[in-house]
């Protein structure tokens, strides 16, 4: 411990004026025994020094400087490539507050278990103190945290993904000073790579203490604590107490030819199309007619009712931690432009001239796979299916000029969606808020590579928050319902499915850019212009209500995409009823009643 740099230094980049923060850092240092402590100021010089250190020790290697200036490759431990839901815990005092949707451990037991792992784990390493702000630094909706980590890779990623460093520390100090000695103005996140042993790995949340402890993984969702741990699990808990919403949603602005912009927030489960929809480039006909799409956020949305009764949203993040596979000049040219420089790539393959490569990018054959082995198809995909890029949102050509507005952007529509090969039509509209909450609660989707475990299995994922809601889903649904009150001007709620397949397993809908056609109908409904057909599950467009100009009509089976099989829906809703029963007494009665109403409608309408 004697090598630790003094905390109360005259250097403003080191230590804090906030006693509670210094005390916590000292406690953590006493437990983890780092060789030195570094307070991050978020400067370019600091970032460059971190990159140099990681290049020297092999954590990062430079990619082709001509084609990808200042881009880096990180190869993770092969056993550390995704979120680990079975090792992720919400540790509330009352078990029931975490709900059946979370793994739970009593706080005292959880602290004891994970602190035993933290003991002495930073010997010989540097402890980085990373102050960060989730949301624009001057936004009343933004919230701050401090992550302590021994991973320079995490520090570098946090600098891209959050507003990290001196400005965040200043805000933390200001808010702390205003609250006196109380420490609960910022979230305390403690992280160590540990031994990267899957048997010694936990991601633990203590919402009542605004604290996170994560041990044994360097992967994004497990280790960049501002993201899922803070901005979703802890923030959802705070949001419930304070009357706002913290959601797993993209935010996108759609500007029509008249120059009016509607903002849409959309919740799709992990690796189900949020980044792609947020960065959509309009199809040619729409571009010619002067439609524009503006990216506000691609993963997380915090929203709260404004004085005008509308919901106002910010993206708490400052960067994108996006799925690489499938990103191509055809599917998402905007993402390709965004990641052409100053990007960290994790677990992608490389070509023989050291360019990053992944399945779906183009038809080149990579030289090395994500583990650095000569590429051999017998070893599986060249890039890990959950390989990712980390990049500043500012590099996105369509980054919205309003993305940093402190008050956020007003939301016109909320869209839920999943990956469903059958049953679920391309789009439908909920009748009202309560029905919309039920539609969100009923979401189900095929599992993806974003979490460890089997992929392609349909599971319930209410509001795409199954892995991320920091409290009991019954309470969460009640919280959603509570927004419907006098004076509220709530967004309309919709459900989409880009992933319906034909009998041969081919996607029925072209997706990507063409999804704007569906968003146009959604906006038309919001404005009261677009037509639709009432059905028991909600309002669907008729085949003539969607604009298909410029598409090869013979290739698109819109009847099939919009078809409803009442018998199959009755079965679906029965399965959903069983799921709802699992939430017990905390399930709001309005939701069960809404469910019964729709089931009855389905049974009484003809198939």
Ligand X SMILES: O=C([O-])CC(=O)C(=O)O
Ligand Y SMILES: Nc1nc2c(ncn2[C@@H]2O[C@H](COP(=O)(O)OP(=O)(O)OP(=O)(O)O)[C@@H](O)[C@H]2O)c(=O)[nH]1
Report the catalytic residues. 272
Quick count: other Cβ atoms within 10 Å of Cβ 145?
28
Pick between residue 131 and residue 273 the one whose CB is nearest to ligand X. Answer: 273
Which positions touch Mn ion (CB under 5 A)?
270, 299
Place of tokens 């183009």: 362
- Which one of ligand Y, ligand X, Mn ion, none is in contact with 238 (Cβ closer than 5 to 8 A by kind)? none
Of 317, 320, 313, whose CA–CA distance to 274 is shortest?
A: 320
Which among 197-205, 220-228, 355-363, 523-531 is the span making contact with ligand X, rule CB under 6 A? Answer: 220-228
3-state secondary structure of 482: coil
Q: Of 224 and 426, which has the nearer Cβ to Mn ion?
A: 224
Our CB check for ligand Y shows the closer of 192 and 275 to be 275
Residue closer to ligand Y by CB (options 47, 499) is 499
Q: Please identify which residue in 220, 319, 381, 462 interacts with ligand X, judged by CB under 6 A.
A: 220
φ, ψ of residue 568 to 5 degrees: the values are -65, -35
Q: Do 135 and 143 form a contact (C-beta atoms < 8 A)?
A: yes
Q: Is 386 annotated as a binding residue?
A: yes
In the complex with ligand X, the residue whose CB is nearer, 83 or 419, is 83
228 annotated ligand-binding residue = yes
444: Cα separation from own chain's centroid: 17
Q: Could you give the 3-state DSSP secondary structure of residue 307?
A: coil
Q: Which residue of this chain has its Cβ atom nearest to Mn ion in the complex?
A: 299
Contact 472, 97 (CB under 8 A): yes
| Binding test (CB under 6 A) with ligand X, winner from 33, 83, 384, 500 | 83
Of residues 221 and 410, the one with the C-beta less far from ligand X: 221
Q: Nearest approach, Cβ of 270 to Mn ion (angstroms)?
A: 5
Partner that binds at residue 599, options Mn ion, ligand Y, ligand X, none, CB closer than 5 to 8 Å by kind: none
Whose Cβ is closer to Mn ion: residue 231's or residue 411's? 231
Beta bridge partners of 62: 72
Residue carrying the six token digits 């919001």: 526
In whole angstroms, how close is the CB of 195 to ligand Y at the nearest point? 26
Min dist. Cβ of residue 135 to ligand Y (A)? 18
| Residue 597 marked as a ligand binder | no
CA angle 375, 379, 383 (to 5 degrees): 60
Q: Is 454 annotated as a binding residue?
A: no
Q: Does 273 show up as a binding residue in the annotation? A: yes
Of 141, 130, 136, 108, nearest to 223 (Cα)? 130
Which residues are CB-neighbours of 461 under 8 A, at least 6 positions away? 269, 418, 443, 444, 445, 467
Residue 501 or residue 574: which is nearer to ligand Y going by CB?
501
Helix (H) / strand (E) containing 211: strand 211-215
> Of the candidates 33, 228, 310, 384, which one interacts with ligand X according to CB under 6 A?
228
Q: Which is it for strands 211-215 and 36-39: parallel, antiparallel or unpaired?
A: unpaired
| Near ligand X in 309-338, by CB under 6 A | 321
Site for ligand X contains 431 (CB under 6 A): no
With CB under 5 to 8 Å by kind, the binding choice for 83 among ligand Y, Mn ion, ligand X, none is ligand X
Site residues for ligand Y per CB under 6 A = 268, 270-276, 298-299, 322-323, 325-326, 331, 450, 498-499, 507, 511-512, 515
Cα distance between residue 178 and residue 57, in whole Å: 42
Question: Does 270 participate in binding ligand X (rule CB under 6 A)?
Answer: yes
Cβ count near 487 (within 10 Å): 8
User: Longest Cα pair distance anywhere in the chain, in angstroms?
Assistant: 78
Q: Quick one: what does residue 366 bind among ligand Y, Mn ion, ligand X, none, with the CB cut-off 5 to 8 Å set by partner type?
A: none
Sole binder of ligand X in the list 150, 173, 299, 545 (CB under 6 A): 299
For 528, other C-beta atoms within 10 Å of its C-beta total 6
Q: Which two tokens stand for residue 404?
A: 């940093």
CA angle 521, 527, 532 (to 5 degrees): 45
Is 515 part of any known ligand binding site? yes
Confirm or deny that 271 is annotated as ligand binding: yes
- Binding residues for ligand X restricted to 440-459, rule: CB under 6 A: 450
The CA distance from 144 to 128, in Å, is 16
Closer residue to ligand Y in complex, CB, 274/460:
274
268 binds, among ligand Y, Mn ion, ligand X, none (CB under 5 to 8 A by kind): ligand Y
Q: Please name the helix (run of DSSP H) or strand (run of DSSP E) that holds residue 293, with its range, or none.
A: strand 292-297
Least distance (Å) from ligand Y to the CB of residue 497? 10
Residue 491 has what DSSP assignment?
P
CA distance 288 to 131: 45
> With CB cut-offs between 5 and 8 Å by kind, which of ligand Y, Mn ion, ligand X, none does residue 447 bind?
none
- Please state whether beta strands 250-255 and 261-267 pair in parallel, antiparallel, or not at all (unpaired): antiparallel
Is 512 labelled as part of a ligand binding site?
yes
Distance separating alpha carbons of residues 527 and 529, to the nearest angstrom: 6
Residue 273 found at the interface with ligand X (CB under 6 A) = no
Does 419 belong to an annotated binding site? yes
**Cα 117 from chain centre:** 28
* Minimal CB distance residue for ligand X: 221
Residue 220 interacts with, from ligand X, ligand Y, Mn ion, none (CB under 5-8 Å by kind)? ligand X
Distance, C-alpha 559 to centroid of its chain: 33
Taking the alpha carbons at both ends of the chain, their separation in whole angstroms is 73
Is 270 annotated as contributing to ligand binding? yes
Q: Which residues are annotated as a binding site for Mn(2+)?
A: 228, 248, 299
Q: Which residues are annotated as a binding site?
A: 83, 219-221, 228, 248, 270-276, 299, 386-388, 419, 512-515
Q: Which residues are annotated as a binding site for substrate?
A: 83, 219-221, 270, 386-388
Q: Which residues sit at the interface with ligand X, rule CB under 6 A?
A: 83, 220-221, 228, 270, 299, 321, 450
């Amino acid at each position: 411990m004697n090598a630790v740099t003094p905390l109360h230094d005259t250097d403003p980049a080191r230590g804090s004026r906030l006693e509670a923060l210094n005390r916590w850092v000292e406690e953590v240092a006493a437990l983890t025994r780092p060789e030195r402590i570094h307070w991050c100021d978020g400067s370019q010089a600091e970032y460059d020094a971190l990159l140099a250190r990681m290049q020297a020790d092999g954590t990062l290697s430079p990619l082709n400087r001509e084609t990808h200036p200042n881009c880096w490759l990180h190869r993770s431990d092969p056993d550390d490539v995704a979120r680990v839901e079975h090792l992720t815990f919400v540790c509330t005092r009352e078990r029931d507050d975490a709900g059946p949707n979370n793994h739970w451990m009593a706080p005292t037991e959880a602290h004891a278990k994970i602190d035993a792992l933290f003991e002495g784990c930073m010997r010989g390493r540097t402890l980085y103190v990373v102050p960060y702000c989730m949301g624009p630094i001057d936004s009343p909706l933004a919230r701050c945290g401090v992550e302590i980590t021994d991973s320079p890779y995490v520090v570098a990623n946090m600098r891209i993904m959050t507003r990290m460093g001196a400005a965040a520390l200043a805000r933390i100090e200001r808010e702390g000073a205003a609250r006196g000695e109380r420490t609960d103005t910022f979230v305390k996140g403690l992280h160590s790579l540990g031994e990267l042993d899957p048997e010694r790995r936990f991601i633990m949340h203590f919402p009542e203490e605004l604290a996170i402890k994560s041990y044994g993984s360097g992967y994004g969702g497990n280790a960049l604590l501002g993201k899922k741990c803070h901005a979703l699990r802890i923030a959802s808990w705070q949001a419930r107490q304070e009357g706002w919403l913290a959601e797993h949603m993209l935010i996108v602005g759609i500007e029509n030819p008249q120059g009016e912009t509607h903002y849409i927030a959309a919740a799709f489960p992990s690796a189900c199309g949020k980044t792609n929809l947020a960065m959509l480039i309009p199809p040619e006909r729409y571009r010619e007619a002067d439609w524009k799409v503006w990216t506000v956020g691609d993963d997380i949305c915090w929203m709260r009712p404004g004085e005008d009764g509308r919901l106002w949203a910010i993206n708490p993040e400052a960067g994108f931690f996006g799925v690489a596979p499938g990103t191509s000049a055809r599917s998402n040219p905007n993402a390709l432009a965004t990641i052409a420089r100053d990007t960290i790539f994790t677990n992608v393959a490389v070509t023989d001239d050291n360019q990053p490569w992944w399945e779906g990018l183009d038809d080149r054959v990579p030289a090395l796979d994500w583990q650095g082995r000569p590429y051999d198809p017998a070893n599986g995909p060249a890039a890990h299916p959950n390989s990712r890029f980390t990049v500043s949102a500012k590099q996105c050509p369509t980054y919205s000029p309003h993305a940093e507005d402190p008050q956020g952007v007003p939301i016109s529509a909320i869209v839920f969606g999943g990956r469903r090969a059958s049953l679920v039509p391309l789009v439908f509209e909920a009748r009202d808020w309560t029905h919309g909450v039920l539609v969100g609660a009923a979401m189900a989707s095929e599992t993806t590579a974003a979490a460890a475990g089997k992929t392609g299995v349909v599971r319930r994922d209410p509001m795409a928050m199954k892995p991320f809601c920091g409290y009991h889903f019954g309470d969460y649904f009640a919280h959603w319902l509570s927004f419907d009150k006098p004076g509220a001007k709530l967004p309309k709620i919709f459900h989409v499915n880009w992933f319906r397949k034909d009998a041969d397993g081919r996607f029925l809908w072209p997706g990507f850019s063409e999804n704007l056609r569906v968003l146009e109908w959604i906006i038309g409904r919001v404005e009261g212009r677009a037509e639709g057909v009432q059905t028991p599950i909600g309002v669907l467009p008729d085949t003539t209500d969607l604009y298909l100009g410029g598409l090869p009509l013979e290739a698109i089976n819109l009847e099939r995409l919009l078809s409803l099989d009442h018998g199959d829906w009755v079965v679906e809703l029965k399965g959903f009823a069983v799921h709802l029963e699992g939430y017990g007494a905390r399930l709001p009665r309005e939701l069960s009643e809404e469910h019964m109403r729709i089931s009855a409608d389905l049974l009484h309408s003809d198939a």
